Amino acid sequence: MSFSSVQGSTASSSVSHPLVPYGWDAGWEAEFAPYAERGLLPGRVVRVDRGQCDVVTPVGTVRADTEFVVPRDPMKVVCTGDWAAVDPDGDPRYVRTLLPRRTAFVRSTSSKRSEGQILAANVDHAIITVSLAVELDLGRVERFLALAWESGAQPLVVLSKADLVPDPVGLSYLVQDVETSAPGVRVLPVSASTGEGVEVLAAVVAGGTSVLLGASGAGKSTLANTLLGEEVMSVQAARDVDGKGRHTTTTRNLLLLPGGGVLIDTPGLRGVGLWDAETGVGQVFSEIESLAEDCRFHDCAHEAEPGCAVTAAVEDGTLSVRRLESYRKLLRENQRIVAKTDARLRAEMLKDWKRKGAEGRAAMALKRGHAR
């Protein structure tokens, strides 16, 4: 198929467009129209590495340089899942621009500079993979969920290696524990070995773009192979001691699924730092935010204030201490990240810290006075 004929078919209808299996629709067609007039070619980024990327286009997959769209802003670099405009005749070919992202899964980097790192773009389902080969880390699940909700994607928690928990009652308790930490999110036990939950998961990912997220050894590559129906991703055994594995996936790859939809498999994540995810944190802890509406003070910190509905819920057992502590921790972390790029917020935080310090010193002085 020639480029000119592709342009003609794009203009007439998006239904028969060669990129429809990759998620192309009328909305992307409208976004791309100005670039089509300039003779550029639409494509979806399926892999990025070393300043270059693989872009699937109506005339096949092309290798393109990313230097034209790699600015100083790390949030605007080319990412797997992006829709791009490619120069079809350049030598080398270049990604000239990226279409506006509908969703983006972003975490903070380990850099001392406050920077975000985009892990996947234009994702509909964020599949958080948690291995049942090791003890559940509910705090880590909540952290992933906060980033997933903030991205704009719909989260789904997959409890992989479910065959390692043969007792149905024990498995149901584990599911309930995660459900308590994931309000509004489906929790699905899955076993690639026995096939448990695989059909349900395949039905979910058949609609749109999904990204697999989780720590090394969580079983993401095994799940990817199961959904793909073939051994595409290499798999290595996790350590028995802690369930961790090597990074069998070293790049983010976008893959077509035989039952429809596309899947982005990502390397195992050691660090999952929040990045301006206040809304996401609020959704993960929606029951706490709901309780907070009944606090006496609108700016209640849920610590020692009178009339606090949140601490009252902890006291009567309807809210766990672990959930409240996790909520506080993620809010503090997110506030620190945002403050790095917001001078006004930094000043407010410093003022608040000084006020609390003064109150603490005054309380200690009063205590010492009474002791005398």
- Rounded Cα distance, 156 and 309, in Å: 30
Q: State the CB neighbour count (10 A cutoff) for residue 206.
A: 15
Would you state the structure tokens that stand for residue 340, as one six-digit string? 């790095």
Q: Is the pTM of this model over 0.95?
A: no
Where are any strands of DSSP class E within the chain?
41-49, 52-57, 60-65, 83-86, 95-98, 104-108, 116-121, 125-131, 154-160, 186-189, 209-213, 253-256, 262-265
Per-residue pLDDT of 295-335, as tens digits, reads 999 889 898 889 999 999 999 999 999 999 999 999 988 88
Per-residue pLDDT of 235-250, as tens digits, reads 544 444 444 444 444 5
Residue 185: the pLDDT is 96
Would you state the structure tokens that stand for residue 43, as one six-digit string? 């494509």
Phi/psi for 165 (5° steps) reads -120, 80
- Rounded Cα distance, 157 and 160, in Å: 9
From 226, 220, 264, 274, select the one nearest 109 (Cα to Cα).
274
- Rounded Cα distance, 302 and 319, in Å: 12
* Ranges in the chain, pLDDT < 70: 1-15, 68-74, 91-92, 109-115, 232-250, 268, 270-271, 340-372
Q: How many residues does the chain have?
A: 372
Q: State how far Cα 239 lies from the chain centre.
A: 25
Would you state the structure tokens that stand for residue 119, as one six-digit string? 């892990």
